Chains A and B, each alone.
Chain A
Amino acid sequence: MKNSWLIAKRELIERLSNGAFLWMLFIGPLISLFLIYLLFKAGDEGKASLKILIVDPINLMDNKIVAQEGKTIDYYFTDKYIEVEEFRNAKKYQDFDALMEVNEKILINKKAFVFYRENPSPDLKMQLKFQLERRVEEVMIEEFTRLSVDEFRQIKQPLNVDFRNVYDPKNESSDMEGWVGFVFGAIIVLFVLLFGMTILRSTTREKSNRIVEVLLASVKPSQLMLGKITGIGIAALIQIFGWTILISLGLVIFRETIFPDMLDLSNWEGIQVSADVQQQIIDSTPVGRYNQFIELIYERINFGYMLAHFAILFVLAYYFYGAFFSAIGATAGTESDGQQFLFPVIFILGFSLYAGYYAIILPDSSFTQWMQFIPFTSPVVVMVKVAQGYPNGTHYFAIISVLILAISSYMFLMIAGRLYKNGILQFGHHLRIKNILAWLKKS
């Protein structure tokens, strides 16, 4: 065990003193934060305020739009018909950001055109749409009914059919949360692949430069293999820990400085709506979805709980797949020889991502139920399930998955240890399945 630790320590020091590792430690989170920033920013980009000229030749809207007009959109009315070309070029219209055409057809086909000079932000588009819709609605009530506006709006409430899982009647889980779990699972796959490749390279390099014989005179092949996987695994954990700290720090900075108010709907001036309408807005607009994402990141995900599961699943998945990479490296005849045997492993890792995606779309399907227990796919699927939330009393599924993965990892380490022992001192051959089978049979 002492020798395994010495091997692990050497591997760890080698990784930590590697420039690429340090770059990855900082560049990875920075790129992730940049992508998150772009995602946040997408909900907040475009012009901050609008000055709109409404062309209303039949005075349908009676020069009124929404009782409380916000500061972000200023409406001006004209009963003169204006061509788009004129609006675009005439000096007197240059102060207006957009031209909106309203005529009697809007009451029938519910369609209006807005010609903008610069694409407004999704926020402003949503406000404009909402305010116009409310005004048109008032006109229609007056034109076609004898009801008051309030009475009409009472009746107009759409029928909301909400499909809910019997195991989750409060609808606490959602696709979005599943996606967060998927991202965690994908990080496991990414790091297993990246550091698995490191195990493979490190093993084949030790073989090709022949230091392996010096090492094997002092340590058992299984100790060497375990030390190597562990050392590189600790480096991977440090990398993940660094990523977690830096990305968390970045998210806090985003929340405190760059996007302090994005989540607060009351900040959307000019909109006084009920909670139901707010939810409709959230569900039906890209802005709403972006802000749902922000809410998800900052409010709904229990990162402590997720990270605890992530750490356990990562370690087990890493040993499980690390054993593969190690065995391939040890049995390969040359450094490039092992590449052909990587394809099945990469395919399986890719399949585990598909299984995770499937778990988001159909969390209760029998396929998902099976995939959460199969060690090849369980790291991703369990992360998705954990993020979605196990229905009450079924969290033991996660424990069973972890136990199966742990036992499988141990078994694969044993099998890989045998291949490692019998293959590590074989040089210059072309690795074939028959070699692998022969070395597996050999004690």
Chain B
Amino acid sequence: MLKVTEITKSFNRKFALDAVSMQMNKGEIFGLLGPNGAGKTTLIRIINQIIQKDSGTIHFDGKLMTEEHLRFIGYLPEERGLYKTMRVLDQLIFLAQIRGLNYSDSKRNALHWLEKFDIQDWSKKRIEELSKGMAQKIQFIAALLHEPDVLILDEPLSGFDPVNVELILNELKSLKEQGRTIILSTHNMRSVEEICDRAALIHQSKKIAEDTIWNLREAQKKGEFTIRFKGNMIAFANALWIGFELIEKKEIGEMRYETTVKMRGGNKIDDLLKSLMGNVEIEAVEERYPSMQEVFIELTQRKEVEDEK
């Protein structure tokens, strides 16, 4: 749906983006990840044509992206604001109109979304009368009003309470089911794991990874298994020999434990299970995948080490 190729942008001779390429497919939620100052917002602004790239290309639905394509994009910037003295409905209509909708469609869509979020009572309120969270909801709606094919959301969950985070995440899933492409820039890794199909990680102006969430996690797995068993902890420890390392143990009941064991020296889970059988009663075995949080930290730290070398 959106293909970014070799995008480079520098400010004052310092790279903000260095030949960054990635592809966001139709109907997927794409996580755009990276530490603060990595270049995510610059990339988003370039896609939205708010700032101009130095070089590179962007294709929208197979065609070189032009200003005309902007009306198919919905954008919720990280640093977002609204006109404080404007009424909610007027504001939504205005923002939909500058995205290309006519007045009646703008009004209809605005009322639809206000009703959907059960906040139609706010339509006559001025923004300055709303709390921060309430205003965030209006901003989220404003990005969707013109029914964009691509939705770019920069930290959409910041400022929301857990109930509203859930509401927004569900809405994003629903939009994905409708075939919309969603680009999600966030530091909330739990939500990335929960709703993103694929993600790219930008660090120090370069893309350092891009894949499905599952592949990203799998690539960083360390051969660790979580084993839940019933029995004696000493017997369990004794059954482990030099090919395995007990990383973590936790008593979860009377004579019941949950442990993390790391494979060593080319040993596999089958070898471990053979060793344990007869010593303890195994209840569950699961390979431990790193969280996206761990993937994020691992990849960024590794990049820093590489750069130092």
- Residue ranges of A at the interface with B (Cβ–Cβ < 8 Å): 3, 6-7, 10, 13-14, 206, 209-220, 425
Check if B73 sits within 8 Å of A217, measured CB to CB: yes
In the bound complex, CA of A243 to CA of B79 (Å) = 41
Check if B77 sits within 8 Å of A210, measured CB to CB: yes
Check if A209 sits within 8 Å of B50, measured CB to CB: no
From B75, B82, B142, give the contact of A209 (CB < 8 A). B82
In the bound complex, CA of A343 to CA of B75 (Å) = 38
In the bound complex, CA of A213 to CA of B100 (Å) = 17
Minimum C-beta distance from A11 to chain B (A): 10
Residues of B within 8 A of A3 (CB): 98
Closest chain B residue to A443 by CB distance?
B52
In the bound complex, CA of A6 to CA of B84 (Å) = 18
Closest chain A residue to B95 by CB distance?
A214
In the bound complex, CA of A425 to CA of B86 (Å) = 22
From A206, A213, A218, give the contact of B98 (CB < 8 A). A218
Known: A3-B98, A217-B48, A219-B98. A14 touches B79 (CB 8 A): no
From A7, A210, A215, A220, give the contact of B79 (CB < 8 A). A210
In the bound complex, CA of A206 to CA of B79 (Å) = 12
The interface bits of chain B over 54-88 (1 if a CB of A lies within 8 angstroms of the residue's CB, else 0) are: 00000000000001001101010101111111100
The interface bits of chain B over 113-157 (1 if a CB of A lies within 8 angstroms of the residue's CB, else 0) are: 000000000000000000000000001001000000000000000
Minimum C-beta distance from B198 to chain A (A): 23
In the bound complex, CA of A217 to CA of B49 (Å) = 7
User: Besides the contacts A10-B83, A218-B70, what 19 more A-B pairs have beta carbons closer than 8 Å?
Assistant: A6-B98, A13-B90, A209-B82, A209-B84, A210-B79, A210-B81, A211-B83, A213-B45, A213-B50, A213-B80, A214-B75, A214-B77, A216-B48, A217-B70, A217-B75, A217-B77, A218-B71, A218-B99, A425-B45
Check if B80 sits within 8 Å of A214, measured CB to CB: yes
Closest chain B residue to A218 by CB distance?
B98
Flag whether B97 is at the interface (Cβ < 8 A): yes
Residues of B within 8 A of A210 (CB): 77, 79-81
Can you list 25 A-B contacts (CB < 8 A)?
A10-B83, A10-B94, A14-B83, A14-B85, A14-B86, A209-B84, A210-B79, A210-B80, A210-B81, A213-B50, A213-B77, A213-B80, A214-B77, A214-B95, A215-B98, A216-B50, A217-B48, A217-B50, A217-B70, A217-B73, A217-B75, A218-B70, A218-B95, A218-B99, A220-B67
Residues of B within 8 A of A220 (CB): 67
In the bound complex, CA of A392 to CA of B73 (Å) = 61
Closest chain A residue to B86 by CB distance?
A14
In the bound complex, CA of A213 to CA of B81 (Å) = 8
Check if A6 sits within 8 Å of B97, measured CB to CB: yes
In the bound complex, CA of A3 to CA of B94 (Å) = 10
Residues of B within 8 A of A213 (CB): 45, 50, 77, 79-80
Closest chain A residue to B139 by CB distance?
A214
Known: A6-B97, A10-B94. A211 touches B50 (CB 8 A): no
In the bound complex, CA of A130 to CA of B177 (Å) = 98
Residues of A within 8 A of B277 (CB): none
Check if B94 sits within 8 Å of A211, measured CB to CB: no
Residues of A within 8 A of B99 (CB): 218
Minimum C-beta distance from A83 to chain B (A): 72
Minimum C-beta distance from B65 to chain A (A): 13
Minimum C-beta distance from A377 to chain B (A): 36
Closest chain A residue to B51 by CB distance?
A425
In the bound complex, CA of A206 to CA of B86 (Å) = 13
Residues of A within 8 A of B51 (CB): 425
Residues of B within 8 A of A219 (CB): 98
Check if B98 sits within 8 Å of A211, measured CB to CB: no
